[in-house]
Amino acid sequence: MTLSSTERKIIENSIRDIKDFPKQGIVFKDITTLLGDKEAFGVTMNHFYQRYKEYNLDYIAGIDARGFIFGAALAQMLGIGFVPIRKKGKLPYTTISEKYSLEYGMDEIEVHIDAFSAIPNAKVLLMDDLIATGGTARAAAKLINQAGASCLEACFIIGLNFLDGQKNLKEITNVYSLIEVN
């Protein structure tokens, strides 16, 4: 399933570029404007629904925090459960965690140890808004698999092709980006 040129234009026009954020030389892709545009958000979510309705998924896992928005909405549309993957220390029950590299240091994400236990060998779609270097998404896909489920694909609104995140993540799972930026 591919976007029509009209759908692509609607989505691309709804994403705001913010220069020099969070630091000099970076062009930040702001999806809050997509969320506030009912037509663009509708086109986005309908596309994801059409793409994933035949995958027979059991859960969608969303990465803290923007992955929660798209993931929870799609889970509801598909009639399946949603699992949050959070930054370390944000979940109240027993968790498993995965560390990953940042530009300057390390960070860690976690998921409840029993997040996927209701369905043995659960099939999971991982969602977030953007993939850049892929450290967080790679750690999240590993967590899904460590928790006894199977990460079938990682899905993003935007894929930054000029970075190696998608390529590195493909070593673990399939990757799909709605809009690709070269």
Rounded CA-CA distance 151/143 in Å is 9
CA 92, distance to chain mean position in Å, is 22
Looking at residues 75-101, what average pLDDT do you find?
97
Residue 137: what pLDDT?
Answer: 97
Distances in whole angstroms, Cα of residue 115 to Cα of each of 23, 82, 101, 111: 36, 9, 24, 7
Phi and psi torsions of 91, nearest 5°: -100, 140
Q: What is the mean pLDDT of residues 38-42?
A: 98
- What is the pTM for the complete model shown? 0.95
- The domain over range 55-181 is classified in CATH as 3.40.50.2020: yes
- The edge-to-edge listing of strands for the beta sheet with 59-63 is 95-102, 105-112, 81-87, 59-63, 123-131, 150-160, 174-181
Active-site pick, 39, 103, 108, 138: 103
Give the pLDDT mean for 71-90: 98
Q: Note the pLDDT of residue 102.
A: 77
Confidence at 109, pLDDT banded by 50, 70, 90: very high
Mean local confidence (pLDDT), 139-156: 98
Query: For the residues 62-69, what does the mean pLDDT come to?
Result: 97
- Listed by start position, the domains of the chain span 55-181
44: tokens are 């986005």
Q: Which residues contact 160 (CB under 8 A, 6 or more apart)?
A: 29, 130, 131, 132, 181
How would residue 105 be classed by pLDDT, with cut points 50, 70 and 90? confident
Share of the chain above pLDDT 70, in %: 99
Has residue 125 got a pLDDT over 80?
A: yes
What would the mean pLDDT of 128-143 be, rounded to a whole number?
A: 96
Mean pLDDT of all residues belonging to the chain: 96
Active site residue 103: yes
* Catalytic entry in 7, 12, 66, 86: 66
Q: Does residue 1 surpass a pLDDT of 90?
A: no
Q: Is 66 a catalytic residue?
A: yes
- When pLDDT is averaged across residues 128-148 and rounded to a whole number, the result is 96
The answer to whether 166 and 159 have CB atoms below 8 angstroms apart is yes
- What are 162-165's contacts with CB under 8 Å, separation 24+? 163/132, 163/133, 163/134, 164/133, 164/134, 165/131, 165/132, 165/133, 165/134, 165/135, 165/137, 165/138
